[in-house]
Amino acid sequence: MAPRKPSSTGLSARDAGRLLPCLTAFMASTDSRARIAFDPLEFPHRYRDPRDIEVSALLAAALAYGRADLFRPKVDALLQRMGASPAAFVRELDVEGARALLQGFVYRFNVGTDVAVLLLGMGRALREHGSLEALFVQGLDARGSWHGALAAFTAALRDVPMAPLRKALGPERGLQHLLPSPLGAGAAKRLNLFLRWMVRGPDGVDLGIWKRVRPSALLIPLDTHIGRISKHLGLTRRNDLSWRTAEEVTASLRALDAEDPVRFDFALCHYGMSGVCPTKPVVEHCTRCLLLPACGTGQKTVKAGGVRATR
Beta bridge partners of 186: 242
pLDDT value of position 59? 98
Separation between Cα atoms, residue 140 and residue 134, nearest integer Å: 10
pLDDT score for 228: 95
147/140 Cα distance (integer angstroms): 9
Number of domains in the chain: 2
pLDDT in tens, 224-279: 999 999 999 999 999 999 999 999 999 999 999 999 999 999 999 999 988 889 98
- The per-residue pLDDT for 3 is 44
Q: How far apart are the first and last CA of the chain?
A: 46
Asked if 298 and 227 sit in the same domain, the reply is yes
Q: What is the CATH number of the domain that holds 273?
A: 1.10.1670
Q: φ, ψ for residue 186 (rounded to 5)?
A: -70, 170
Same domain for 266 and 288, yes or no, is yes
Within a domain: residue 110?
Answer: yes
In this predicted structure, what is the pLDDT of residue 309? 54
Question: Tell me: the pLDDT tens digits for 161-179?
Answer: 999 999 999 999 999 999 9
Claim to verify: residue 42 and residue 129 sit in the same structural domain: yes
Give the DSSP letter of residue 111.
Answer: E
Residue 265 CB contacts under 8 Å (≥ 6 apart), including other chains = 196, 220, 221, 226
What are the residue ranges in the chain where pLDDT is below 70?
1-10, 307-311
Handedness of CA 234, 238, 243, 244 (dihedral sign): negative
Which pLDDT score is estimated for 167?
A: 98
Q: What's the pLDDT at 2? A: 42
Structural domain includes residue 199 = no
Q: Is 307 left (phi over 0), alpha (psi -120 to 50) or beta?
A: beta
> Would you state the pLDDT for residue 4?
43
If asked whether residues 249 and 144 sit together in one domain, one would say no
pLDDT at 74: 98
Query: Structure pTM?
Result: 0.94
CA distance 199 to 136: 12
Which residue among 184, 200, 232 closes a domain? 184
Query: Is there a domain that residue 198 lies in?
Result: no
Residue 306 confidence (pLDDT): 72
- Closest residue by Cα to residue 128 from 157, 107, 105, 108: 157
Domain span at residue 291 reads 1-30+223-311
